[in-house]
Chain A
Amino acid sequence: MTPPPLFSFANLQFSYPGPKHSRNGCTAIDFSSNEFHIRQGVKTVLLGPSGCGKTTLLQICGLLRQAPLQPGQVVFDSTCDYAVISPQAQLELRRNSFGFILQTFFLLPNFSMVENTAMPLIFQGMEKSRALKHAREFIQKSGLSGSGENDLEHNLDKTSDQLSQGQKQRVAILRALIHDPTVIFADEFTSNLDGNTIEKTFLLIDDWQKKGAQKGQLRSLVLVTHDQAVAARHGDHFVVINESHRLKKQFSRQEFSSREAVNQEIHAAFQTN
């Protein structure tokens, strides 16, 4: 049975506002005459060359970027049309339903690892002490803690500037998961992680999805990455965008597993204007 759509796109087009200077005024996404879905409960991977619009698409979906949309261009969960969504509903979605793993971590400086992790819970309204306690437990049980002196458990009270890039990345991952969102938007979050940690991260995401399933939720990951190996290993649905910001191709997991064919398509996407 096909899962229901998480995001439905129809003729989505987006240009950065303002005159043509740097990114301003340039087209970022051009899905004209394209209609497609990102499904719930799956791990969708956005692929394409740098600057093709992957991150912009992720930001629009995650309501991090305001886009002047026409009705029906982006619809969340079949009912929530982003063209008419209220500011309050946007806040509610970002606070309760979405989790973000951003490209450059964006940990709050001068806040400890635990505090950074607990921040989404606090903004959900949980009392600070409870949120911190929950965050400590979450880090310990996550499996991302690592081992030895550099593990997260031994550095819970260190501030972000005292952490390594890998530790920061793991905190950013845990922060995105701690409040049990229904969608996680992850933007090239594997670049600072070793293979073992990447595996553990996806185990954690799998676990998060399973827990959602137990609650009757279809939890989804929207992942932007250039790492095709990671994509192939963990992705369920693949969206390829070409340099012209157009939708080049969608692949299923099975199709993507056929590496040669996929490579050709992706290569073509990277080359085609």
Chain B
Amino acid sequence: MSPGLPNLGVKFCLWFAWRDLTDKRSFHFSLGIFLSLVITFMILILSLAAPESMEMIRKRHLAANPKALSIEFDKGPMSYISQEEKKFLEDSLQAPGLGVRGVFFYGEENFYFPLKDGSKEYRGRIVQEEDLVLQASGIQLDPVEGQPWIALGLSVKKDVLEAWNQGAGEFKVNNPITNMPVALKMAGFFSKDFDSYGDFMISKEAISLLKNQPNPASRWIVSGPLPDDWKTKILPSQLVDYLENKNLRKPSSETRTLKGKEYKCWRLDSQNEKGERLKDWLAHLNAIKIHMDNKYGKSMNDFVSIVDNEKPSAPDTQALSRPPALFLGVLYLKDLDFLSRAIQKVKSLGFRPLNPEAEAQLREIHHSTSYNRTVLIAINIGLILVAACSSFFLEFIRLKQKIAEVGLLKSFGATESSLLGIYLVEALLIFLTGLIFSAGLSALAVVGIRGAYFSWMSLGEVFDSTYFGFLACFGIFNLMVVIGSTLVGSAEARNNCPAHSLGKAE
């Protein structure tokens, strides 16, 4: 009867392998190999899965969250969308096949109140007929040339960037009321750093006008050159006290140079005394007002005026409204696949897509994660090699210790193939238990990470475990390592005569 592996049977090999692996002489080697495999697998799973998972979740988030998958569009720099255009767009963009969930337009209802003397009251301020009032787009300025300030809303960043004529030092915008182009001089430093969410700058002129012309939608005010004593003029001592002692973050200033002139810019942080983050300028002003009211009485009202309702100050005055001046449309899409078509449609209707970047955003995410991924992969390759070497040599030494057993089994008539079969089964047992154990631990860790960290961005989306298919490559690599080490480690004992093996063990 042949003594080869098939006749010994897999059952026998498993039995023999288990006994051999749990032998206390070689148990620490088996445990070392096992732990090496577990650690390798876990590091691979966790480190490689993290950035990829975030990217994947982000993609899914974009697809699942209608607000995330959208195209903003407008008519052009400082151009406003009329109500007729709005209706036309709504009809056109709801056509089947475009994958549109809905269209939304941003603007602000322009409530103003006619006064008896023919002027108007707008937001608590008397507005003369010749005044230019721009709305929530964030631009609020006097059209008189030389007016030294401008307040910019975050949402019109792109407009301003494109409308800015650097040579002339002015913006060209359309008056939303008269629909006539207006050139706006800007006396201040124009910052491209618009995206510091929650911060704003205040110029001398702006702060002085602020009490009369609040624009809650605006978040940025860019200053012009300021005198050295501007702070004391602009900010009463009580406010300085508030900012420097009460506010959880102190104001900071910086000087920037543009065209040979220095411009001093101030930043105020958006956080109230309770440490609550303030979402916008209005909230910040409210926080300041409350503080000043509580501590210094009403004096702050003279400085900062908060307008949060629309009531005429003059009696017997009826509110009039005109159609809102729409400046921004947003097209919400059902799926990422509709993005290109929708962008083309918006363009074909004569509008300007402002963020055709949903795809670009994905590319950006991919770009940002690719670096991390490359570093992680490099680290992981190093770890794999270290783990592979340790697994290899541990298995090698373990089998070297088995040399007497090999000689003994050969004296029973065991063939080389049956011996190799036994030790390969041992190696596979270590490998499989390592794989299963590490996969289980990693799954728990991933679930934990997802619960603690990913959920806020995944919004409860299902974590796609199929991503972990890449582990098969590393599994195969580790399998090759343990098989290779088994072949090499047992080669001498398998090839030598039994007496040689037994003699070496003596």
Contacts and interface: CB of A to CB of B under 8 A. Distances in A.
A26 interface: no
Interface stretch (B407-415, B426-434, B461-469): B407-415
B7 interface: yes
A124 interface: yes
A123 B413 contact: yes
Interface stretch (B14-22, B86-94, B176-184, B235-243): B14-22
Contacts of A95: 3, 412-413
A117 B290 CA distance: 92
A94 B411 contact: yes
Contacts of A92: 413
Interface in B393-409: 404-405, 407-409
Interface residues of B, number: 31
A66 B503 CA distance: 13
B12 A110 contact: no
Contacts of A109: 23-25, 405
Residue with the greatest number of chain B CB neighbours at <10 A, chosen from A62, A66, A106 = A106
B311 interface: no
A102 B25 contact: no
B316 interface: no
A261 interface: no
Contacts of B15: 128
A105 B484 CA distance: 31
B497 A65 contact: yes
A70 B189 CA distance: 104
A95 B15 CA distance: 21
Contacts of A91: 3, 413, 415
Interface in A52-109: 59, 62, 64-66, 91-92, 94-96, 98, 100, 102-104, 106, 108-109
Contact of A65 (B7, B409, B414, B499): B499
Residue with the greatest number of chain B CB neighbours at <10 A, chosen from A91, A104, A124 = A91
B168 interface: no
B497 A125 contact: no
A119 B422 CA distance: 14
A235 interface: no
Residue with the greatest number of chain A CB neighbours at <10 A, chosen from B11, B24, B25, B497 = B497
Given A92-B413, A100-B411, A122 B8 contact: yes
Contacts of B411: 62, 64, 94, 98, 100, 102
A119 B414 CA distance: 11
B325 interface: no
B502 A106 contact: yes
Interface of B: 1, 3, 7-8, 11-12, 15, 19-20, 22-25, 404-405, 407-415, 497-500, 502, 505-506
| A-B complex: 10 closest residue pairs judged by Cβ atoms | A95-B413, A110-B23, A65-B499, A125-B1, A64-B499, A123-B412, A59-B499, A66-B497, A64-B498, A94-B413
